[in-house]
Structure 1
């Protein structure tokens, strides 16, 4: 981990402390686990965000079933992201002192979890992989590069609540695109926190685009936050229990 100058605590208006850590790949898993455990001890959520870290996609932590699943991915990037996700869970979530590959259980809504371990959620897009860990089950994260997005306006009817659509359509084209990305990632994070995944009622959820850090009461009480990387390639949204006092987010980028 870098020196204390790379640790930046902030306090949004709603009172959730956000601490940003910038780390190098050196001793990645040890430093990330230490930071994660420390955050959880304080009752905070921990987020690890990896960019360009394909070299850390270690298949030795996979079960035989997961190794077969990884082999079925046609694109190397998709395979790396799957394996990196499993590595994040292996190194951050499972109890210490266990070296055997993780075997996951599935909750009633299809959300995977590890028994007797903190809750977690994973997301990946492009060369980005993110994992959030919390003692509270209601937690979700979404990272998107929108590399394949064409005209976002074609999706407004399928995705947006009327209030969101009005907000986006009243903005300039450039700002409207940024608002659409915020809308999409917030909704993904919300639905992953509830364990529902994407469903047909996306327009029924209002993620309050005009608010910096809204607290929703539907579909369940959730605080929405955004995490900003050094460059704007990815949009990252986080949904978590509003009672959590803080979030610690560690960014790890490929060596330049």
Structure 2
């Protein structure tokens, strides 16, 4: 279960979105708000709907546990670029999440803005084309100097670090991603070599070791003192469902209706 932590210490949770036990899958939507439930109903394919519900349920379960409230009572807001945040007065908890196919990565910090990203390294992509639009000239040159698996590994490492940072600052790709340039350091952190503003110098970026075939990255504003990775277990969400059932109004019996 989640534990309390101090500024500079981040808790990461991995979540298998396709690993929800069958008996629990149909009940997870009870942890979501009416707006989220309505959004889930709009998905055309069931696999996308189920993954969305699972991801939101895991997020709300962890947030609710940290805050000591029922998951569905967690109030969220989003900035103009879609970055989520808590809408609770005095709450110092910060968070971010990313998902790729059936795998999600959720990050939680204390008084520390952060962003995360995750990608599947076996995903087929036009590396050169994407790099031409999103990478700096120096990064493109590095990419073209590599071949095969080395090129794919470097591409996804550079991409996840970049996206984690852009999600952390809350702009996403509304900012020009090619205005950034990453440099790999011996301690597996990434240092900003160039940016169009001074904001980047206050951020620390690190690659995250995840189960294959996924790779991830985290960006934090200020120093990252520790980063613990745990696997989310679905019984963490299951324990909240009886609480929700107790809060609902009892359904009238047939005798009451008659």
SS in structure 2 opposite 1:188? helix
Residue 228 of structure 1 pairs with residue 212 of structure 2? no
User: Does the CA-based 8 Å contact 1:44-1:245 persist in structure 2?
Assistant: yes
Which one is further off, 168-177 or 89-98?
89-98
**Distance of 1:42 and 1:156 partners within structure 2:** 34
Deviations along 1:48-77, one digit per CA (max 9) or x if unpaired, are 011243346511111111101011112333
CA drift at 1:245: 1.3
Residue 237 of structure 1 pairs with residue 213 of structure 2? no
Work out which of the two has the higher radius of gyration on C-alpha atoms and give 1 or 2. Answer: 2
Residue 198 of structure 1 pairs with residue 173 of structure 2? yes
Show structure 2 runs of 5+ residues with no match.
235-258
SS in structure 1 opposite 2:111? coil
Show structure 1 runs of 5+ residues with no match.
1-30
SS in structure 2 opposite 1:208? strand
Q: 1:107 to 1:77 in 2, by over 3 A?
A: same
1:71 is aligned to 41
**Distance of 1:108 and 1:184 partners within structure 2:** 23
1:4 is aligned to none
Structure 1 runs, 4 residues or longer, greater than 6 Å off: none
> Greater helix share, 1 or 2?
2
SS in structure 1 opposite 2:173? coil
1:97 is aligned to 69
Pick from 50, 69, 85: which aligns with 1:80?
50
Q: RMSD value over aligned CA atoms?
A: 2.5
SS in structure 2 opposite 1:223? strand
CA drift at 1:113: 1.1
Pick from 41, 48, 52: which aligns with 2:13?
48
Pick from 155, 159, 165: which aligns with 2:130?
155
**Distance of 1:87 and 1:190 partners within structure 2:** 25
TM-score, with length taken from structure 2: 0.75
SS in structure 1 opposite 2:104? strand
**Distance of 1:42 and 1:203 partners within structure 2:** 30
Paired residues in the alignment total: 218
CA drift at 1:148: 4.9
CA drift at 1:125: 0.7
**Distance of 2:165 and 2:233 partners within structure 1:** 26
**Distance of 2:118 and 2:56 partners within structure 1:** 16
Pick from 176, 193, 213: which aligns with 2:189?
213
1:144 is aligned to 119
TM-score, with length taken from structure 1: 0.75
2:230 is aligned to 250
SS in structure 1 opposite 2:12? strand
Q: 1:43 to 1:181 in 2, by over 3 A?
A: closer
